[in-house]
Amino acid sequence: MALILAPMEGLLDFVLRDVLTRVGGIDRCVSEFIRITDTLLPERVFVRVVPELLSGGRTAAGVPVRPQLLGSDPACLADNAARVAGMGADGVDLNFGCPAKVVNRHGGGAALLQDPDLLFAIVKAVRDAVPAAQMVSAKMRLGFHDDSRAEECALALQEGGAGEIVVHARTRADGYRPPAYWHRIADIRARIHTPLIANGEIWSAEDAQRCRLESGCDTLMLGRGMVSNPGLAREIRAGTAFAAVPGHPTLAAHPPALDWTGVQEHLGHFWHLVRSRLEARQQAGRLKQWLNFLRRHYPPAQQAYERLKTEIDVRVFDAWISAQPLTAKTN
């Protein structure tokens, strides 16, 4: 049983990974994708996206981060996978689910679900290049235009050597529109033996329980739900049969739900990381972006977002953060 933090391009970067894994309840993270075209990338490129590689491949809270690669050339992906695996990650993840038009036009992400033979070739090449002790996992959607080849695609990933498969229970055509078709993951489970991880539309502990029942998966991947409610993983663990495993950070000292005061503490740390690690032109937008997600779950975040949404001067954000209770305790 595990809860995994999803890869989300332009949102779930190393800053939010640091903050959300400090909150607790997450067992592993997958990075936002690293685009592979026709070259062997230097190590600095991997470090730019996954700076945790400089710290044993783990966040400050000790949670492993698995780099994710996106591309369509088996040999080039294999070379890059071998390089990043040699940098200390616990494994390599492959992206077969990105729905972005610019990615799909170049034959990457979910577009590959139209060619199961190429899925197989990519996974096999990467599996052969990565040391056997390290995991090669893959993330897919149910399909591109429709879900008629979902089982065929999952079988191709399995036969190529994927040790885990995350299934985002929507097609590329579905985008992020609800619902997620969790029952189709159960259909895939009936055809393959590779461990499956369910993903999509998990916004609450109740959603998590329904997803487990409909998909048959114990392991779940959390994305927008975790960004909107940073205490979600703790709530899921408290409200279901998820048990702490040896060595897993105990949640006993923390109430499952995270109230707004608790969020304010983490906002302080988030802003510290943004100000110290990101370019000046990105800083104001990153705080507004997270407040935009938080307002789905926290009314005070709505008020803050309305106040700050047109601001661009980081000094205004500095002042707002300084006025929040308890932020001085962050480090």
Cβ neighbours of residue 174 under 8 Å, at least 6 residues apart?
A: 141, 142
Cβ neighbours of residue 40 under 8 Å, at least 6 residues apart?
A: 76, 79, 80, 83
Whether 270 is covered by a domain: the verdict is: yes
C-alpha 92: how far from chain center: 13
User: Tell me, what's the pLDDT at 105?
Assistant: 84
User: Tell me, what's the pLDDT at 255?
Assistant: 60
Q: What are the catalytic residues?
A: 98
User: Are 108 and 185 in a shared domain?
Assistant: yes
Question: pLDDT tens-digit profile of 180-214?
Answer: 999 999 999 999 999 999 999 999 999 999 999 99
User: Are 28 and 100 in a shared domain?
Assistant: yes
Residue with tokens 């996974």: 123
User: Are 216 and 126 in a shared domain?
Assistant: yes
User: Are 224 and 270 in a shared domain?
Assistant: no
User: Tell me, what's the pLDDT at 240?
Assistant: 58
The total number of structural domains that make up the chain: 2
Question: pLDDT tens-digit profile of 102-130?
Answer: 899 888 999 999 999 999 999 999 999 99
**CA–CA dist 224, 241 (Å, integer):** 23
Q: Helix axis angle, 314-322 relative to 260-277, nearest 10°? A: 140
User: Tell me, what's the pLDDT at 326?
Assistant: 59
End-to-end alpha carbon distance in the chain = 31
Whether 249 is covered by a domain: the verdict is: no
Whether 245 is covered by a domain: the verdict is: no
User: Are 220 and 295 in a shared domain?
Assistant: no
State the residue range of the domain holding 141: 3-239
User: Are 280 and 148 in a shared domain?
Assistant: no
Closest CA relative to residue 163, chosen from 129, 200, 133: 133
Per residue of the chain (331 residues), give pLDDT as tens: 799 999 999 999 999 999 999 999 999 999 999 999 999 999 999 999 999 999 999 999 999 999 999 999 999 999 999 999 999 998 999 999 999 988 998 889 999 999 999 999 999 999 999 999 999 999 999 999 999 999 999 999 999 999 999 999 999 999 999 999 999 999 999 999 999 999 999 999 999 999 999 999 999 999 999 999 999 999 999 975 444 444 444 444 456 789 999 999 999 999 999 999 999 999 999 999 999 999 999 999 999 999 999 999 999 999 999 998 754 344 4
User: Tell me, what's the pLDDT at 182?
Assistant: 98
User: Tell me, what's the pLDDT at 214?
Assistant: 98
CATH number of the domain where residue 147 is located: 3.20.20.70
Of 190, 206, 239, the residue that ends a domain is 239
User: Are 133 and 200 in a shared domain?
Assistant: yes
Question: Residue 171 phi/psi, 5° resolution?
Answer: -85, 170
Question: Residue 243 phi/psi, 5° resolution?
Answer: -110, 145
User: Are 55 and 148 in a shared domain?
Assistant: yes
User: Are 264 and 234 in a shared domain?
Assistant: no
Of 180, 204, 239, the residue that ends a domain is 239
User: Are 212 and 271 in a shared domain?
Assistant: no
User: Are 73 and 31 in a shared domain?
Assistant: yes
